[in-house]
Structure 1
């Protein structure tokens, strides 16, 4: 990506120190979403390397991944698959548990959300440690999806999440990086 785009996107993201706890800088994309030019640019850039390829579905991780993923799905004329926390979907689901800093969580999607062999791009706003994204890749593969890529607006490279996905054989697209947590 060229530097102007990265600067434009970086300037549209609000950084909130000490949220949700001291020492953490929360990267708030609601300001990017509210800026029509930056939002459009982020959506265009997220999937740019795969433009022109056959993408059957875009999967978005709750909740900001729904906003970005829905827009990306529209842009590439693909269906959209919501990946949610356990207990939020009304029909038969499949799920994957993953480790948190203390304990574990579960994400799930509808069992009929995709057909084996479909080509899927995973989208979320930010990748940090990669636990949720890694679980999402495993969940998609559990139903036989070919995960073409995982795309994020923000990477926190010090936390290693993008590298974790690459080790699973998933190409990772991030638009901007912020050092630290």
Structure 2
């Protein structure tokens, strides 16, 4: 019953609930709730997506739960490092962020009833609702960082974006260095100029 109270709290009073979860981490509850959210959204995607035939429950759903939990752990670790880099009160708060992020994905389960209700509607409505729920989860993730590290909204947004920007910069640098390394070999393939 306490999980349901926390779930409803994230939907109705998100900042207060996420702050309470960050202050008193419940990693067991976070794992259970996030696993259920992954399972429900995976089944909703299989059964409620427009044009999707009904699929039997496969081992893929179990793998989705395992890799989803691993992904949440790594995501929370990256955001914790990012928040610590930006001056957050990082000592002992990683577990609080993990718990808050797990509960922040709660709106994702709403895709199941919306998806089933809109099965006869044009597919664009399903995708609009999915995008709106995704945006809601993103805002709740920012609020999770804000509540955990006592950041302003904009600083929490910066902590969320920093890992993505670092990965993007690393990819761009790799491409530039790769092209620079191949340029001498490509120059030899060009026909001689007059």
TM-score of the superposed pair, with normalisation by structure 2: 0.24
TM-score (norm 1): 0.25
Identify the structure with the greater strand proportion.
Answer: 1
